[in-house]
Amino acid sequence: KTHKVTLIPGDGIGPEVSNAVVRILEASGVKFDWESYAAGAEAFEKYKEYIPKELYESIERNKVALKGPVTTPIGGGFSSINVTLRKKFELFANFRPIKNLPGLETRYPGVDLIIIRENTEGLYVGLEHEVVPGVVEALKIVTEKASTRIAKFAFEYARKHGRKKVHAIHKANIMKMSDGLFIRCSKNVSKDFPEITYGEHIVDNTCMQLVTNPYQYDVLLLENLYGDIVSDLCAAFVGGLGLVPGANLGHEAAIFEAVHGSAPDIAGKDIANPTALLQSAVLMLRHLDEEAAADRIQAAIEKVYTEKKTLTRDVHGTAGTTAFADAVIAAL
Ligand code: NAI
Ligand code: MG
Protein backbone atom coordinates (compact mmCIF):
# COMPACT_ATOMS: atom_id res chain seq x y z
CA LYS A 1 0.00 0.00 0.00
CA THR A 2 1.20 3.51 -0.86
CA HIS A 3 0.48 6.17 1.76
CA LYS A 4 -0.37 9.63 0.52
CA VAL A 5 1.04 12.05 3.07
CA THR A 6 1.23 15.83 3.07
CA LEU A 7 4.76 17.02 3.77
CA ILE A 8 5.52 20.47 5.13
CA PRO A 9 9.33 20.72 5.22
CA GLY A 10 9.13 24.05 7.09
CA ASP A 11 11.96 26.56 7.36
CA GLY A 12 15.13 27.07 9.43
CA ILE A 13 16.34 23.55 10.20
CA GLY A 14 13.02 22.22 8.82
CA PRO A 15 14.20 21.26 5.32
CA GLU A 16 17.35 19.59 6.69
CA VAL A 17 15.57 17.43 9.26
CA SER A 18 12.64 16.71 6.91
CA ASN A 19 14.97 15.58 4.18
CA ALA A 20 16.78 13.26 6.59
CA VAL A 21 13.51 11.79 7.84
CA VAL A 22 12.05 11.27 4.37
CA ARG A 23 15.19 9.41 3.32
CA ILE A 24 14.94 7.13 6.36
CA LEU A 25 11.22 6.51 5.80
CA GLU A 26 11.85 5.58 2.17
CA ALA A 27 14.65 3.23 3.26
CA SER A 28 12.22 1.45 5.60
CA GLY A 29 10.43 -0.04 2.61
CA VAL A 30 7.08 1.64 3.31
CA LYS A 31 5.76 3.32 0.16
CA PHE A 32 4.91 7.01 0.32
CA ASP A 33 3.45 9.45 -2.12
CA TRP A 34 4.49 12.82 -0.69
CA GLU A 35 2.63 16.04 -1.40
CA SER A 36 5.08 18.70 -0.35
CA TYR A 37 4.08 22.32 0.42
CA ALA A 38 5.75 25.41 1.77
CA ALA A 39 4.10 27.31 4.64
CA GLY A 40 4.83 30.60 6.35
CA ALA A 41 7.11 33.29 4.95
CA GLU A 42 8.33 31.03 2.15
CA ALA A 43 4.78 30.26 1.01
CA PHE A 44 3.91 33.94 1.06
CA GLU A 45 6.62 34.67 -1.48
CA LYS A 46 5.27 32.01 -3.82
CA TYR A 47 1.49 32.10 -3.34
CA LYS A 48 0.82 35.40 -1.50
CA GLU A 49 -0.68 33.27 1.27
CA TYR A 50 0.97 32.00 4.44
CA ILE A 51 -0.92 28.73 4.19
CA PRO A 52 -1.68 28.06 0.52
CA LYS A 53 -5.14 26.74 -0.33
CA GLU A 54 -3.44 23.72 -1.93
CA LEU A 55 -1.90 22.81 1.40
CA TYR A 56 -5.26 22.88 3.20
CA GLU A 57 -6.78 20.76 0.44
CA SER A 58 -3.92 18.31 0.58
CA ILE A 59 -4.34 17.75 4.35
CA GLU A 60 -8.10 17.48 3.90
CA ARG A 61 -7.58 14.76 1.29
CA ASN A 62 -4.76 12.82 2.92
CA LYS A 63 -5.73 13.33 6.57
CA VAL A 64 -2.10 12.82 7.55
CA ALA A 65 0.77 15.29 7.45
CA LEU A 66 4.41 15.30 8.50
CA LYS A 67 5.52 18.78 9.37
CA GLY A 68 8.85 20.46 9.96
CA PRO A 69 9.04 23.59 12.12
CA VAL A 70 7.89 26.93 10.74
CA THR A 71 9.23 30.27 12.02
CA THR A 72 6.65 32.57 13.61
CA PRO A 73 7.59 36.25 13.75
CA ILE A 74 7.74 37.79 17.24
CA GLY A 75 5.64 40.86 17.96
CA GLY A 76 3.93 41.70 14.67
CA GLY A 77 3.73 39.76 11.40
CA PHE A 78 1.51 36.79 10.60
CA SER A 79 -0.06 34.46 13.15
CA SER A 80 1.49 31.09 13.83
CA ILE A 81 1.11 28.56 11.01
CA ASN A 82 1.22 25.80 13.61
CA VAL A 83 -1.60 27.24 15.69
CA THR A 84 -3.65 28.01 12.56
CA LEU A 85 -3.38 24.43 11.25
CA ARG A 86 -4.22 22.95 14.66
CA LYS A 87 -7.35 25.11 14.87
CA LYS A 88 -8.40 24.62 11.24
CA PHE A 89 -8.39 20.81 11.47
CA GLU A 90 -9.53 20.68 15.12
CA LEU A 91 -6.35 18.86 16.13
CA PHE A 92 -7.40 19.12 19.73
CA ALA A 93 -4.81 16.84 21.31
CA ASN A 94 -1.11 17.49 21.27
CA PHE A 95 0.54 14.24 22.27
CA ARG A 96 4.19 14.34 23.35
CA PRO A 97 5.89 11.26 24.78
CA ILE A 98 9.00 12.04 26.87
CA LYS A 99 11.07 8.89 26.97
CA ASN A 100 14.80 8.27 27.32
CA LEU A 101 16.51 6.55 24.43
CA PRO A 102 18.56 3.56 25.48
CA GLY A 103 22.23 4.44 25.14
CA LEU A 104 21.84 8.17 25.62
CA GLU A 105 23.00 9.19 29.08
CA THR A 106 21.04 12.00 30.70
CA ARG A 107 20.77 13.33 34.22
CA TYR A 108 17.63 11.27 34.88
CA PRO A 109 17.65 7.79 33.34
CA GLY A 110 14.43 5.98 32.52
CA VAL A 111 12.06 8.94 32.35
CA ASP A 112 8.79 7.92 30.73
CA LEU A 113 6.22 10.70 30.79
CA ILE A 114 3.30 11.49 28.53
CA ILE A 115 2.38 15.12 27.94
CA ILE A 116 -1.13 15.77 26.70
CA ARG A 117 -1.66 19.38 25.79
CA GLU A 118 -4.98 21.01 24.91
CA ASN A 119 -4.32 22.32 21.43
CA THR A 120 -7.19 24.58 20.40
CA GLU A 121 -7.84 27.28 22.99
CA GLY A 122 -6.51 28.91 26.17
CA LEU A 123 -4.35 31.96 25.51
CA TYR A 124 -3.45 30.56 22.09
CA VAL A 125 -6.70 31.83 20.56
CA GLY A 126 -4.65 34.96 19.86
CA LEU A 127 -7.45 37.37 20.80
CA GLU A 128 -5.45 40.43 21.76
CA HIS A 129 -6.29 44.07 21.39
CA GLU A 130 -5.27 47.46 22.63
CA VAL A 131 -7.93 48.72 25.00
CA VAL A 132 -6.44 52.20 25.22
CA PRO A 133 -2.87 53.17 24.35
CA GLY A 134 -0.58 51.44 26.82
CA VAL A 135 -3.12 48.80 27.80
CA VAL A 136 -3.41 45.50 25.96
CA GLU A 137 -5.95 42.83 26.70
CA ALA A 138 -5.37 39.14 25.83
CA LEU A 139 -8.27 36.74 26.15
CA LYS A 140 -7.91 33.25 27.51
CA ILE A 141 -10.73 31.06 26.30
CA VAL A 142 -11.56 27.88 28.17
CA THR A 143 -14.61 25.84 27.29
CA GLU A 144 -16.24 22.87 28.95
CA LYS A 145 -16.35 21.14 25.58
CA ALA A 146 -12.62 21.36 24.82
CA SER A 147 -11.56 20.72 28.41
CA THR A 148 -13.71 17.60 28.66
CA ARG A 149 -12.55 16.42 25.24
CA ILE A 150 -8.85 16.66 26.13
CA ALA A 151 -9.38 15.11 29.57
CA LYS A 152 -11.17 12.16 27.95
CA PHE A 153 -8.32 11.81 25.51
CA ALA A 154 -5.79 11.72 28.37
CA PHE A 155 -7.71 9.18 30.45
CA GLU A 156 -8.53 6.97 27.48
CA TYR A 157 -4.87 7.00 26.50
CA ALA A 158 -3.90 6.13 30.08
CA ARG A 159 -6.38 3.24 30.20
CA LYS A 160 -5.37 1.87 26.81
CA HIS A 161 -1.66 1.98 27.61
CA GLY A 162 -1.77 0.86 31.22
CA ARG A 163 -0.73 4.20 32.67
CA LYS A 164 -1.42 4.59 36.37
CA LYS A 165 -1.75 8.35 37.01
CA VAL A 166 -3.10 11.46 35.34
CA HIS A 167 -2.29 14.91 36.75
CA ALA A 168 -4.20 17.98 35.59
CA ILE A 169 -1.83 20.96 35.71
CA HIS A 170 -3.33 24.38 36.36
CA LYS A 171 -3.19 27.78 37.98
CA ALA A 172 -6.75 27.83 39.29
CA ASN A 173 -5.64 29.64 42.43
CA ILE A 174 -5.19 32.75 40.27
CA MET A 175 -7.28 32.00 37.18
CA LYS A 176 -10.13 30.78 39.28
CA MET A 177 -12.75 30.64 36.56
CA SER A 178 -10.81 29.58 33.45
CA ASP A 179 -8.37 27.08 34.95
CA GLY A 180 -11.08 26.32 37.49
CA LEU A 181 -13.26 25.08 34.64
CA PHE A 182 -10.37 23.10 33.17
CA ILE A 183 -9.74 21.14 36.37
CA ARG A 184 -13.46 20.73 37.07
CA CYS A 185 -13.86 19.04 33.68
CA SER A 186 -10.74 16.90 34.26
CA LYS A 187 -12.04 15.78 37.65
CA ASN A 188 -15.44 14.93 36.20
CA VAL A 189 -13.89 12.78 33.49
CA SER A 190 -11.62 11.10 36.04
CA LYS A 191 -14.68 9.60 37.76
CA ASP A 192 -15.17 7.26 34.79
CA PHE A 193 -11.63 5.94 35.24
CA PRO A 194 -11.50 4.67 38.83
CA GLU A 195 -8.44 2.51 38.16
CA ILE A 196 -6.37 5.61 37.31
CA THR A 197 -5.14 7.87 40.10
CA TYR A 198 -6.10 11.47 39.45
CA GLY A 199 -4.19 14.46 40.82
CA GLU A 200 -4.22 18.24 40.42
CA HIS A 201 -1.00 20.24 40.69
CA ILE A 202 -0.36 23.94 40.28
CA VAL A 203 1.89 24.62 37.30
CA ASP A 204 4.78 26.47 38.96
CA ASN A 205 5.08 23.85 41.67
CA THR A 206 4.84 21.18 38.95
CA CYS A 207 7.98 22.59 37.30
CA MET A 208 9.85 22.32 40.58
CA GLN A 209 8.45 18.85 41.27
CA LEU A 210 9.45 17.69 37.78
CA VAL A 211 13.03 18.82 38.11
CA THR A 212 13.27 17.34 41.62
CA ASN A 213 11.73 13.99 40.76
CA PRO A 214 10.27 13.43 37.29
CA TYR A 215 9.36 9.84 38.21
CA GLN A 216 6.45 10.96 40.39
CA TYR A 217 4.39 11.78 37.27
CA ASP A 218 2.96 9.57 34.56
CA VAL A 219 0.49 11.39 32.29
CA LEU A 220 0.42 15.20 32.47
CA LEU A 221 -2.76 16.87 31.24
CA LEU A 222 -2.28 20.56 30.51
CA GLU A 223 -4.02 23.50 28.94
CA ASN A 224 -2.36 24.99 25.89
CA LEU A 225 0.26 27.44 27.25
CA TYR A 226 1.33 25.32 30.22
CA GLY A 227 1.64 22.36 27.86
CA ASP A 228 3.93 24.35 25.60
CA ILE A 229 6.23 25.42 28.42
CA VAL A 230 6.29 22.17 30.36
CA SER A 231 7.03 20.24 27.12
CA ASP A 232 10.32 22.10 26.61
CA LEU A 233 11.20 21.61 30.27
CA CYS A 234 10.54 17.88 30.01
CA ALA A 235 12.48 17.65 26.74
CA ALA A 236 15.61 18.37 28.78
CA PHE A 237 15.07 15.13 30.76
CA VAL A 238 15.68 13.01 27.68
CA GLY A 239 18.46 14.94 25.92
CA GLY A 240 16.76 18.09 24.70
CA LEU A 241 14.56 19.38 21.92
CA GLY A 242 16.45 17.41 19.29
CA LEU A 243 14.74 14.27 20.55
CA VAL A 244 11.13 14.81 21.54
CA PRO A 245 8.42 13.93 19.02
CA GLY A 246 4.84 15.09 18.88
CA ALA A 247 1.50 14.46 17.24
CA ASN A 248 -1.39 16.87 16.74
CA LEU A 249 -4.43 14.64 16.74
CA GLY A 250 -8.07 15.24 15.89
CA HIS A 251 -11.00 13.33 14.43
CA GLU A 252 -10.46 14.71 10.91
CA ALA A 253 -6.70 14.63 10.53
CA ALA A 254 -3.33 14.21 12.23
CA ILE A 255 -0.20 16.31 11.87
CA PHE A 256 3.04 14.85 13.17
CA GLU A 257 5.75 17.32 14.18
CA ALA A 258 8.60 17.65 16.66
CA VAL A 259 8.27 19.78 19.80
CA HIS A 260 11.15 22.02 18.70
CA GLY A 261 11.03 25.09 16.46
CA SER A 262 13.00 26.18 13.42
CA ALA A 263 16.24 26.72 15.40
CA PRO A 264 17.55 29.65 13.32
CA ASP A 265 20.76 29.61 15.40
CA ILE A 266 21.85 26.33 13.79
CA ALA A 267 19.94 26.37 10.48
CA GLY A 268 21.68 25.57 7.20
CA LYS A 269 24.73 24.00 8.83
CA ASP A 270 23.81 20.31 8.67
CA ILE A 271 24.11 20.00 12.46
CA ALA A 272 20.46 19.78 13.62
CA ASN A 273 19.33 16.54 15.19
CA PRO A 274 16.59 14.94 13.08
CA THR A 275 15.66 12.44 15.83
CA ALA A 276 12.69 14.49 17.10
CA LEU A 277 11.06 14.63 13.68
CA LEU A 278 12.07 11.03 13.03
CA GLN A 279 10.37 9.85 16.21
CA SER A 280 7.35 11.92 15.16
CA ALA A 281 7.43 9.96 11.90
CA VAL A 282 7.50 6.74 13.94
CA LEU A 283 4.30 7.90 15.65
CA MET A 284 2.91 8.60 12.18
CA LEU A 285 3.78 5.08 10.98
CA ARG A 286 1.88 3.62 13.95
CA HIS A 287 -1.06 5.88 13.09
CA LEU A 288 -0.90 4.46 9.53
CA ASP A 289 -0.89 0.90 10.92
CA GLU A 290 2.69 0.38 9.78
CA GLU A 291 3.69 -1.06 13.15
CA ALA A 292 6.46 -3.28 11.81
CA ALA A 293 8.22 -0.42 10.02
CA ALA A 294 7.75 1.80 13.09
CA ASP A 295 9.41 -0.84 15.28
CA ARG A 296 12.24 -1.28 12.77
CA ILE A 297 13.00 2.44 12.60
CA GLN A 298 12.78 2.80 16.39
CA ALA A 299 15.20 -0.10 16.78
CA ALA A 300 17.57 1.49 14.24
CA ILE A 301 17.48 4.81 16.14
CA GLU A 302 18.23 2.99 19.39
CA LYS A 303 21.08 1.10 17.79
CA VAL A 304 22.71 4.32 16.59
CA TYR A 305 22.32 5.89 20.05
CA THR A 306 23.65 2.81 21.80
CA GLU A 307 26.70 2.65 19.53
CA LYS A 308 27.29 6.40 20.20
CA LYS A 309 29.47 6.70 17.08
CA THR A 310 27.29 8.90 14.90
CA LEU A 311 25.45 11.32 17.14
CA THR A 312 24.76 14.99 16.55
CA ARG A 313 26.25 17.81 18.63
CA ASP A 314 23.24 18.51 20.82
CA VAL A 315 23.76 15.02 22.28
CA HIS A 316 27.53 15.45 22.52
CA GLY A 317 28.47 13.82 19.23
CA THR A 318 30.24 15.29 16.22
CA ALA A 319 28.16 13.96 13.32
CA GLY A 320 26.00 16.08 11.05
CA THR A 321 22.32 15.70 10.22
CA THR A 322 23.09 13.80 7.01
CA ALA A 323 25.63 11.47 8.62
CA PHE A 324 23.21 10.64 11.42
CA ALA A 325 20.49 9.82 8.88
CA ASP A 326 22.94 7.63 6.95
CA ALA A 327 23.79 5.76 10.16
CA VAL A 328 20.09 5.11 10.86
CA ILE A 329 19.62 3.86 7.30
CA ALA A 330 22.65 1.58 7.67
CA ALA A 331 21.20 0.25 10.94
CA LEU A 332 17.89 -0.41 9.19
P1 NAI B 1 13.68 26.23 18.94
O2 NAI B 1 12.98 25.03 19.42
O3 NAI B 1 13.71 26.45 17.47
O4 NAI B 1 15.20 26.23 19.48
C5 NAI B 1 15.51 26.23 20.85
C6 NAI B 1 16.94 25.74 21.07
O7 NAI B 1 16.98 24.33 20.81
C8 NAI B 1 17.95 26.36 20.11
O9 NAI B 1 19.17 26.51 20.78
C10 NAI B 1 18.09 25.34 19.00
O11 NAI B 1 19.32 25.36 18.35
C12 NAI B 1 17.89 24.03 19.76
N13 NAI B 1 17.26 23.01 18.89
C14 NAI B 1 15.97 22.98 18.49
N15 NAI B 1 15.76 21.93 17.69
C16 NAI B 1 16.93 21.29 17.57
C17 NAI B 1 17.35 20.13 16.85
N18 NAI B 1 16.49 19.42 16.09
N19 NAI B 1 18.65 19.76 16.94
C20 NAI B 1 19.51 20.45 17.69
N21 NAI B 1 19.17 21.54 18.40
C22 NAI B 1 17.90 21.97 18.34
O23 NAI B 1 13.00 27.47 19.68
P24 NAI B 1 13.11 29.04 19.38
O25 NAI B 1 14.50 29.38 19.01
O26 NAI B 1 12.48 29.65 20.55
O27 NAI B 1 12.15 29.28 18.14
C28 NAI B 1 12.58 29.46 16.81
C29 NAI B 1 11.37 29.61 15.90
O30 NAI B 1 10.64 28.39 15.82
C31 NAI B 1 10.37 30.70 16.35
O32 NAI B 1 9.98 31.41 15.21
C33 NAI B 1 9.21 29.89 16.88
O34 NAI B 1 8.00 30.56 16.75
C35 NAI B 1 9.25 28.67 15.97
N36 NAI B 1 8.62 27.47 16.54
C37 NAI B 1 7.93 26.68 15.68
C38 NAI B 1 7.39 25.50 16.12
C39 NAI B 1 6.69 24.64 15.14
O40 NAI B 1 6.78 24.86 13.94
N41 NAI B 1 5.97 23.65 15.57
C42 NAI B 1 7.48 25.08 17.53
C43 NAI B 1 8.29 25.96 18.33
C44 NAI B 1 8.81 27.14 17.85
MG1 MG C 1 6.80 25.05 22.08
- Mean pLDDT confidence for 50-67: 96
Ligand 1 mean position, distance from CA 181 (Å): 31
CATH code of the domain covering residue 117: 3.40.718.10
Query: Does a structural domain hold residue 40?
Result: yes
Say how far residue 170 (Cα) sits from the centre of its chain: 20
Say how far residue 196 (Cα) sits from the centre of its chain: 24
Confidence bin at 78 (pLDDT 50/70/90): confident
* Mutational pocket test of ligand 1: of 262, 265, 311, 321, the residue with most ligand atoms within 8 Å of the beta carbon: 262
Q: Which of 182, 217, 238 lies at the terminal end of a domain, its last residue?
A: 238
Q: Are residues 156 and 180 in the same domain?
A: yes
pLDDT tens sequence across 94-128: 999 999 999 999 989 999 999 999 999 999 998 99
Query: Does a structural domain hold residue 97?
Result: no
pLDDT tens sequence across 311-331: 999 999 999 999 999 999 999
pTM of the model: 0.97
Residue 69 domain boundaries: 1-92+244-332
Q: Do the Cβ atoms of 63 and 3 come closer than 8 Å? A: no
The pLDDT of residue 45 is 87
Q: Which element (helix H / strand E) includes 165?
A: strand 165-170
Say which ligand is closest to the CA of 313. 1
How many domains are contained in the chain?
2
Query: Does a structural domain hold residue 65?
Result: yes
Q: Are residues 231 and 186 in the same domain?
A: yes
Say which ligand is closest to the CA of 78. 1
Query: Does a structural domain hold residue 101?
Result: no
Radius of gyration of the chain (CA): 20
Ligand 1 mean position, distance from CA 69 (Å): 8
Q: Are residues 66 and 154 in the same domain?
A: no
Nearest to 9 by CA among 26, 31, 34, 32: 34
Ligand 1, closest atom to CA 275? 18
